[in-house]
Structure 1
Amino acid sequence: MNESPETATGARAAWAIMDPVRGRIHAAMAVAAACVLLGMAALAALALAVQALLHAPGHWPAGPLLAAAVCTVGAYVLRLHAFNRSHYAAFRLETLLRTRLAEHVARLPLGEVQRLGPSALAKVVQDDVKALHVFVADSTPLYARAYVAPVATLLALLLLDWRLALGALAVLAFGVAVMSLAMRGRGEMSRRYHAAREQVGAAVVEFVQAMPVVRSFDTGRSTFGRYERALAAYLAMLTDWYRAAGFSARFALAVLGPLPTLLALFALGLWLWPDLAFERWLALLLLGTGMAEALMPLMSLMHLVDKARLSVDRIHQVLALAPLPLPATGRVPQDASVEFDGVCFAYDTASAAALEAVSFRVAPGSVTALVGPSGAGKTTVARLIPRFWDVQRGAVCVGGVDVREMTPQALMAQVAFVFQDAFLFAGSVADNIRLGRPEATLDQVQAAARAAQAHDFVAALPQGYDTPVGERGVFLSGGQRQRLTIARAILQDRPILVLDEATAFADPENEAAIVQALSALMRGRTVIMVAHRLATIRDADQILVFERGRLVEAGRHDELLPRAGLYARLWQHHERAQHWALRAGHAAGEGAR
């Protein structure tokens, strides 16, 4: 049976991405082919043993039987060896691909990563790479059986008797013709099959992840309904495929089984009797059944190729994303200053500009606050400094050097970042604080935790600094997670610190202490704070006020208030918000009287 053009194309694409383990795969295939040939040699030795018994009934054919036993054991050993080689190649490919994908994603603009989403990236890195693992590990014996066995069997039959060989080949051709009817439209049906499966999987993941919302609002009617509709579509697709190809596929499987070929060889042998010697006839019966049966693994092979092709396409889509360009030789910053020079930036071509002609300078060792309404561009400014994206126009400079002219290592050695949404890994408290400085001692970790007002609650945990925090820090509160990320940034001891609302989850008791600790510890360093709580930035050396992506005001707190501009209005709203609850409660009390 010949591969369809689309199957051949998918296999070639798979081989292209498997180049690093091509030699190992070919070696495994060669061993598997030798295993098939030894299996056929064992059958031939059994035929010789029968021939020897017929010619000398009283003499035990020790030689042919020993040869059959040796060939059988050899075939078994080679089969295990081929299995080991193919799986080692699969594990090697899995490691290489995941490492390559991880390194590539780490160089992508953050916007591309966010556009793809964590679920899609996890599917590529985990599921699609695993599909290629299965393809490499299991396709080796299938290739050997599907290609080597039929050819070798046909050659052996032709050597024994060309007439019976043609009979066995006719059965094979008939089975292939019937199977081709079942394979019509297989490419489109296979695409629909995998798409329907993915929709079911996505619906299940959504239902499980949204369980708190489901239980709170719709008791599963909406989300579980989506799962039921995805499952119904999957069932309908399978039913259509079964009706279109069910009979011809089952009939082809029956024809390509060993019994039809055996019956054909048996009938031809009777017809040619006694011109055909019995021992030759027996050898033909033993070897001939394998020619059609050996093609059956091709069905499984085609299914593996289809899955592998889809996985290869998704992996190539991720690898084809353009990473941030790196300089050939990176420049070194001169100090810890930060400067925006006419920066214009949009997250994509379809979006409005997030920043428009923004220019400012942050002096080394100063504290600068970024304020403004929601969506004004504050967080965008903060995330352009460590080059999570590249600007469309203008330049972002650190220490007088454009960040695009610095290596990632040099830039990250200058900038520490504390995100608003604190992220912890599923390790211990100490391991999470040490992130970026794994060589730090426990004393250094504890000093950073004390500075971030985290030491007291960490010491109260069951295992102290060795306590696991759970996946994404699930065992800790939001404020505790935030303080650990602040401790992480303090321990990194980088000259520039970017805080994206670092006190967002701090309780009122500890918020002032955290601000004081940061102010004391960051003295002499460049601090850029994205602030929504204006009370935390009154003493900043510089306040930059943003509105709709533009820098509209700059100065200190006492300088900005008299201007009666945007900052003054924001401060008035802040003052009203501080007293709203008290006035509301007072009014409610007056009404009760």
Structure 2
Amino acid sequence: MDPVRGRIRFAMGLACASAALSVLSLALLAQVLHALLAAPGQWPWPPMLALLGSTVAAYVLRQAAFNQSHYAAFRLEVLLRSQLAAHVARLPLGRVQALGAGPLSKVMFDDVKALHVFVADSTPLYARAYAAPLITLAALLWLDWRLALAALAVPALGFAVMGLLMRKSSELNMNERYNAAREQVAASIVEFVQAMPVVRTFDSGSASFGRYQAALAAYLAVLKEWYARLGFSARFSMTVLSALPTLAALLWLGGWWLAAGKLAFSVWVAALLIGAGMAEAMMPFMVLYHLIDAAKLSIHRIQQVLGEPPLPEPPAPGEQPQDASVAFENVSFSYGASEGSAGDAGSTGGEGKDAAPALQGVSFTAPAGSVTALVGPSGAGKSTVARLIPRFWDASQGCVRVGGCDVRRIASDTLMRQVAFVFQDTFLFADTIAGNIRLGCPEATQQDVENAARAAQAHEFISELPQGYDTLAGERGVFLSGGQRQRITIARAILQNRPILVLDEATAFADPENEAALVAALSELMKGKTVLLVAHRLSTVEDADQILVFEQGRLAEQGRHEALLAQGGVYARLWQSWQQARQWSLPAHENTACPAPQP
């Protein structure tokens, strides 16, 4: 909270001043009552006006304290979310996937929101909870030390019981169990709603709703256990810390001493007014305990994310690629080994005992301006090769070079300016079509956007949309078909015009009518660029300058289409299977009509 600590302290100072004025108001009220009892026919205007002024000032300062704490909370919220977003963007992609989208979104939204609530609402209460009892105790000691000790003894008993409550709660880890149970309920609700199409198709909600019911049952069990073990202590401390027990003690003791002539009536009245506010001022401690405990858990989760080591950056300014070539030199990689750390340029870390290697000893060179196709069975390592180029992960062994430079020696911004991507899993933001194409090139004109869309065979369908290029794509592009989303991401890559182009199943969602035009457009626009094309449709790679054939993480074969077919190896087998798949059709069968129902 360092960036907003000054404003928080100012808010707490205002809250303390408000508490002092509140006690002063009670003292002035006692003075007004004493003056009215002493001279019933005269209105004590000076203390009455002072009472009005102190009451209004206490209210104004209290509101100002909450205003300042809320401004600090909003600023802290913006700073934390910005810091978390910037940090997550620098983490290895494998580590981000291991953390999970759900937990990360919870940290960036719910946990930061919990800190907002703590700073906005708790810090003024925290200051008031300390200041008000101390100021009240000082005023009571000034009035009568005996009444002050009596007023102090009642909340002291309440705090002793509450201390026992806190210790038991800490021993049982009830807060952590309660929060974990709540999170499980929330996660099961999200799962049930998001999986509704699958739920209705397969199990009618029995399995997924069963998990939701199990989460609710676990949540109820935690609540019952917490209430059974700590219910009496909590109720007792809440009762003792209310105003009535303190007021009763002051009333009985003060009345006794008043009857014995050991206490002035005006002092008794003043002590009753001021002392009743002492216990009430301590009530926020009960709420603060839970808010602080929840804030600690949120802080712990935020610090865990911020403590994740990012990909190491080279010393500024880093090396500059000499051309658009791409080279792999004896590269091995394992996803399990890469999630926890990323080595520097000279590291040759192991692959991890439990992680199956995705790549093993891969070496090849894609010259500048060439088209290199990566083919092979699913899980062979093709997409992994594409993702190692921009350092979404770092190689476990070996070296990946772009323009002759180790990618670990190139600054991230410089490296990303070299590579454009079209992934199989398309992602569009909830923005306009033009905004999604312009992503990464905010300075591009509308004409540039349209030219890129034409080249990607997307201009025609975009023009037919209700607002054309200003049509909203919806969250994750939900308003568009899979093929339309793919062509928009291709247009985005075309507009970026970067020297290296990675196409990971770029034509996966193209319909038969549009695939030929799309491939032709890409072929024309890829001139002069280094292209790495990951493909399952082998018809798209026949004209590649070289074809890399992967099998079980290894580079099994390398060459042009005709030469690889002549070898009769893995590529020839894949080509034969693909040809057979193209020729597949529904088997012929007799069209037997259903018998007519018998009358």
Return the TM-score normalized by structure 2.
Answer: 0.94
Matched, 1:470 2:474: yes
Matched, 1:100 2:87: no
Letter in 1 for 2:401: C
1:195 to 163, 180, 188: 180
1:332 to 320, 345, 368: 320
User: What's the secondary structure of 2:483's corresponding residue?
Assistant: helix
> For the residues of structure 2 that align with 1:589 and 1:228, how far apart are their CA atoms?
48
Aligned match of 1:580: 584
Equivalences for 1:108-507 in 2 at 5 Å?
108-187=91-170, 188-273=173-258, 274-329=261-316, 330-348=318-336, 349=352, 350-507=354-511
> For the residues of structure 2 that align with 1:128 and 1:25, how far apart are their CA atoms?
19
User: What's the secondary structure of 1:185's corresponding residue?
Assistant: helix
Letter in 2 for 1:210: A
> For the residues of structure 2 that align with 1:321 and 1:245, how far apart are their CA atoms?
37
Aligned match of 1:41: 24
Letter in 2 for 1:298: F
* 122-131 vs 182-191, greater mean Cα deviation: 182-191
Letter in 1 for 2:416: M
8 Å contact 1:448–1:487 — kept in the other structure?
yes
Q: Deviations over 1:121-179 (max 9, x none)?
A: 11010111001000100112221232111111111111110011111111122222333
| Displacement after TM superposition at 1:20 (Å) | 1.6
8 Å contact 1:181–1:245 — kept in the other structure?
no
- Consecutive unaligned residues of structure 1, counting only runs of 5 or more, are 1-17
Q: Deviations over 1:259-306 (max 9, x none)?
A: 111111111111111221111111101100122221111111111111
1:78 to 39, 48, 61: 61
Q: Deviations over 1:394-449 (max 9, x none)?
A: 11111111111111110111000111011000111100000001111111111000
8 Å contact 1:183–1:245 — kept in the other structure?
no
User: What's the secondary structure of 1:183's corresponding residue?
Assistant: helix
Q: Deviations over 1:161-209 (max 9, x none)?
A: 0011111111122222333343342131111111111111111011011
> For the residues of structure 2 that align with 1:131 and 1:506, how far apart are their CA atoms?
45
> For the residues of structure 2 that align with 1:501 and 1:178, how far apart are their CA atoms?
66
| Displacement after TM superposition at 1:591 (Å) | 12
* 529-538 vs 42-51, greater mean Cα deviation: 42-51
> For the residues of structure 1 that align with 2:434 and 2:590, how far apart are their CA atoms?
49
> For the residues of structure 2 that align with 1:456 and 1:383, how far apart are their CA atoms?
32
> For the residues of structure 2 that align with 1:474 and 1:167, how far apart are their CA atoms?
68
Letter in 2 for 1:468: L
Aligned match of 1:522: 526
- Consecutive unaligned residues of structure 2, counting only runs of 5 or more, are 337-351, 594-599
| Displacement after TM superposition at 1:481 (Å) | 0.2
Q: Deviations over 1:59-113 (max 9, x none)?
A: 2111111111111110111111101100011011101110110000000000001
Q: Deviations over 1:336-388 (max 9, x none)?
A: 10011111111113211111111111011111000011111100000001110
8 Å contact 1:554–1:560 — kept in the other structure?
yes
8 Å contact 1:469–1:475 — kept in the other structure?
yes
Letter in 1 for 2:315: A
User: What's the secondary structure of 2:282's corresponding residue?
Assistant: coil
| Displacement after TM superposition at 1:53 (Å) | 2.3
> For the residues of structure 2 that align with 1:201 and 1:446, how far apart are their CA atoms?
43
Percent identical: 66
| Displacement after TM superposition at 1:322 (Å) | 0.7
> For the residues of structure 1 that align with 2:372 and 2:238, how far apart are their CA atoms?
74
Letter in 2 for 1:222: A
Letter in 1 for 2:39: A
Matched, 1:558 2:532: no
User: What's the secondary structure of 2:237's corresponding residue?
Assistant: helix
> For the residues of structure 2 that align with 1:506 and 1:40, how far apart are their CA atoms?
75
> For the residues of structure 2 that align with 1:283 and 1:299, how far apart are their CA atoms?
27
User: What's the secondary structure of 1:423's corresponding residue?
Assistant: coil
Letter in 1 for 2:454: R
Return the TM-score normalized by structure 1.
Answer: 0.95
> For the residues of structure 1 that align with 2:226 and 2:262, how far apart are their CA atoms?
48
| Displacement after TM superposition at 1:253 (Å) | 1.4
> For the residues of structure 1 that align with 2:121 and 2:503, how far apart are their CA atoms?
50
C-alpha RMSD over aligned residues: 1.4
- Aligned residue-pair number: 572
8 Å contact 1:336–1:525 — kept in the other structure?
yes
User: What's the secondary structure of 1:422's corresponding residue?
Assistant: coil
| Displacement after TM superposition at 1:588 (Å) | 4.0
Report the CA distance shift for 1:589/1:571 in structure 2 as closer, same or farther (over 3 A): farther
Equivalences for 1:20-59 in 2 at 5 Å?
20-59=3-42
Q: Deviations over 1:513-532 (max 9, x none)?
A: 11100000111111100010
8 Å contact 1:429–1:466 — kept in the other structure?
yes
Moved over 6 A (4+): 589-592
> For the residues of structure 2 that align with 1:489 and 1:351, how far apart are their CA atoms?
33
Aligned match of 1:11: none
User: What's the secondary structure of 1:387's corresponding residue?
Assistant: coil
